[in-house]
Amino acid sequence: MSTALRHLKKDPVLANIIRRAGPYKITYGEPIFEELVRSIVYQQLSGRVASVIYGRLRAALGDGPVTPQGILKLRTDRMRRLGLSGQKTLYIRELAKHTKKGSVVFEKLPEMDDQTVIEHLTQVKGIGVWTAHMFLIFSLRRPDVLPVGDYGIRMAIQKAWNLPELPNPQEIEKIAARWRPWASVASWYLWRSLE
């Protein structure tokens, strides 16, 4: 990690964020079905609300891991009563179906490059590039992912670089070019800068 931090501190704005945020303490999950279900639940919700809904889903499935079989045994109306929107219920069930039939194979994801992982996951309705980016960073532990569509990243860059409006993906790529190959680490610090 010291190599990444030395590299990122060459950007004076990011160096200031790193100094204020302190040590790098990212929390990783595993590259498994359950983590992607969790990501879907957390999409566009506050962490507290998402945690409650995810806790209800886990409880409804009983002890043990969240599996495609377990999800498909839950009725749609039951999933809705747990607090999941109709769309998220559909997305989670679609992921379960794709995983069960073998069109999404979690065991193969660690061997794939980032772009192939994105293509593999986004074939499932409801899994977009943002969700794939989060999975790459937090489950596959990829060091150089830049989630240009993430609202928090956009807000942090706007604030830190004193931009008049939220930057678009091309502007983010331009600012972040010097962070490569450690864009995931830079992203983690940008999220911390908003706390």
What is the rounded CA–CA span in Å between residue 178 and residue 92? 37
Q: Look up 150 and say whether it is catalytic.
A: yes
Instruction: Assess contact for 75 and 48: CB atoms under 8 A.
Output: no
The distance of Cα 16 from the centroid of its chain, to the nearest Å, equals 25
The sign of the CA dihedral 99, 104, 107, 110 is: negative
What is the rounded CA–CA span in Å between residue 59 and residue 61? 5
Q: Which residues are catalytic?
A: 150
